[in-house]
DNA sequence: CGCAAAGATGCGTGAGACGTAAATTTGCGC
DNA sequence: GCGCAAATTTACGTCTCACGCATCTTTGCG
């Protein structure tokens, strides 16, 4: 995956900031170009050019076009775990998860009430439509799910390594989010995402009773 | 993915049978070699040689080494949906799912009571350990999950395209299976899988209450 | 027994992933 | 400010791949 290790407690020096900017620039460039001309008509070289870096540099950040494209989604998905950690401990777990997910979705929200930002949506649609990118999206989801599991373990005082519980909840929540998202993207007269997400998570918490 | 379309209602002529055999031979060869010398030291050429086919033929079956390795797991995972369809309609859904999963796991069972067959286990371990294969395993799981969703929709009279329900259940069940499996593979004094799977699925059906 | 279709091969090409070493830039202490 | 050591970016070269296309073989069937 990433070669340039961004050690955690790194203070935001010019160096780190620039690295992050390059990473994001490469990622958006990859998405933009892939949407414009189709993934197969985009060479790594093009992406690098678009981001004003040397071709070889692309591979210092990502090990494939797919990874670059999924990076934006990954960063976004990670925020869910981060947000969950911020929720007060008094909140019931499922409630906290629901809020964390919805909050994260609302992040880049624009004019259109309740609709996540356009660019991210474009990226997700791209990943869903191009078969060769589906694997990358799944990988991103898996990574985000791991972080979510860690956050859940922390919050519930369970152990990610020993207990099934945190990973089970994270996995189920991840599945719910994926399904809701998918439904949302397919919806032909467009519908708001939030209700879908909430419905999916509520059903999970209810033990998935037959409808 | 696969180029050679195996049309469904195909009767098992010599042709089809041989194709299937080649596919499986390539897949096992890939796994065996990867386990023996490490994935990076296995060239497509080697796998083809091991399966007694021309190098070019490998790519007629799989589009990458990873796909070949995941194929065995995929075929196995698909059986769950197939088994679910065989369960009597009178059985409660979760019960049926549990049985379908356990039955499938028991398939290649050997001497050691309750432990799935060695080769498959080896393959799964390989996919978990090699980062570059994790994506392939996730893809396989996703495909199997789709089929499971279809089977669930059929059984519950819901619609995969319109209702969240079938995909939600399939996704949650898939997550439960993954988590249980993972726990099982990590367990240091080895433990039987079945209880883990059943525990995970039971918790799902119970709404994942905090422990 | 013979033909049409399906599959297996061979060959050639365009890309990609990545090791390595040289060139550049940044962070910092003096 | 200045200069050096560490972190990054680049340039190059190499090794595999994935896959299109043309051709040779094998299989299924009348």
Residue B127: give its domain's CATH number: 1.10.357.10
DSSP at A40: G
If you measure CA to CA, which chain B residue comes closest to A168?
B176
- A35, A63, A91: which is the final residue of a domain? A63
Separation of CA B55 and C1' C12 in angstroms?
A: 15
Structure-block tokens of residue A174? 């991840």
Query: Which pLDDT value is given to residue A8?
Result: 43
Residues B114, B26 share a domain: no
Residues B92, B177 share a domain: yes
Q: Which residues of B touch A (CB under 8 A)?
A: 1, 93, 131, 134-136, 138-139, 142, 156, 158, 161, 163-165, 167-169, 171-172, 174-176, 178-180, 182-183, 186, 196, 199-200, 203-208, 210-211
Over residues B178-192, mean pLDDT: 94
Residues A168, A130 share a domain: yes
Query: Which pLDDT value is given to residue B89?
Result: 95
Query: Which pLDDT value is given to residue B27?
Result: 97
Residues A119, A43 share a domain: no
Please state, in angstroms and rounded to a whole number, the distance separating the CA atoms of residues B117 and A117. 47
Residue A40 sits in a domain whose CATH number is: 1.10.10.60
Query: Which pLDDT value is given to residue A211?
Result: 83
What percentage of chain B has pLDDT greater than the value 70? Answer: 89
Residues A27, A78 share a domain: no
Within residues 48-77 of protein chain A, the ones with CB less than 7 A from nucleic strand C are 56, 59, 63-65
**Within a domain: B175:** yes
Query: Which pLDDT value is given to residue A13?
Result: 65
> Which is it for the CA torsion B94, B100, B101, B106, positive or negative?
positive
**Within a domain: A4:** no
Residues of chain A with pLDDT under 50: 1-11
Query: Which pLDDT value is given to residue A176?
Result: 98
Q: Do B142 and A142 touch (CB under 8 A)?
A: no
Q: Which of B64, B91, B97, B168 to mutate to test the interface with A (most CBs of A within 10 A)?
A: B168
- A6, A41, A63: which is the final residue of a domain? A63
Residues A110, A133 share a domain: yes
**Within a domain: B8:** no
Helical axes B131-156 vs B118-129, angle rounded to 10°: 120
Please state, in angstroms and rounded to a whole number, the distance separating the CA atoms of residues B85 and B71. 22
Residues B157, B92 share a domain: yes
Query: Which pLDDT value is given to residue A18?
Result: 86
Residue-number span of the structural domain to which A147 is assigned: 69-205
Over residues B149-177, mean pLDDT: 97
**Within a domain: B113:** yes
Q: Which of B40, B162, B167 to mutate to test the interface with A (most CBs of A within 10 A)?
A: B167
Query: Which pLDDT value is given to residue B211?
Result: 83
Residues B165, B140 share a domain: yes
Over residues B171-176, mean pLDDT: 98
Residues A182, A103 share a domain: yes
B3 has pLDDT over 50: no
Residues A55, A84 share a domain: no
Query: Which pLDDT value is given to residue A44?
Result: 98
B203 has pLDDT over 60: yes
Quote the number of domains for chain A: 2
**Within a domain: B110:** yes
Q: Is the CB of A24 under 7 A from strand C?
A: no
pLDDT tier for residue B4 given thresholds of 50, 70 and 90 = very low
Query: Which pLDDT value is given to residue B183?
Result: 96
**Within a domain: B3:** no
**Within a domain: A35:** yes
Query: Which pLDDT value is given to residue A105?
Result: 87
- B44, B63, B82: which is the final residue of a domain? B63
Give, in order, the Cα–Cα distances in Å from B2 to each of A28, A29, B21. 31, 30, 15
**Within a domain: B128:** yes
Query: Which pLDDT value is given to residue A106?
Result: 79
| Closest CA–CA distance from residue A17 to any residue of chain B (Å) | 28
Residues A184, A86 share a domain: yes
Residues A161, A201 share a domain: yes
């Amino acid at each position: 995956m990433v070669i340039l290790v961004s050690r955690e407690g790194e203070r935001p020096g010019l160096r780190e900031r620039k690295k992050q900017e390059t990473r994001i620039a490469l990622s958006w460039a990859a998405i933009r170009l892939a949407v414009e001309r189709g993934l197969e008509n985009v060479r790594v070289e093009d992406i690098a050019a678009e981001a004003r870096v040397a071709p070889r540099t692309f591979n210092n950040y990502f090990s494939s076009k797919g990874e670059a494209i999924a990076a934006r989604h990954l960063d976004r998905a990670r925020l869910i775990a981060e947000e969950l950690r911020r929720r007060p401990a008094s909140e019931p777990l499922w409630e906290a998860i629901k809020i964390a997910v919805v909050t994260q979705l609302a992040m880049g929200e624009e004019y259109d009430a309740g609709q996540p930002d356009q660019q991210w949506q474009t990226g997700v649609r791209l990943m869903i439509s191009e078969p060769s990118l589906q694997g990358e999206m799944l990988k991103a989801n898996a990574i985000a799910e791991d972080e979510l599991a860690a956050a859940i373990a922390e919050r519930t005082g369970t152990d990610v390594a020993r207990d099934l519980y945190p990973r089970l909840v994270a996995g189920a929540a991840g599945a719910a989010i994926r399904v809701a998202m998918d439904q949302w993207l397919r919806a032909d007269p467009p519908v708001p995402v939030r209700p879908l997400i909430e419905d999916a998570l509520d059903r999970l918490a209810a033990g998935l009773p037959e409808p």
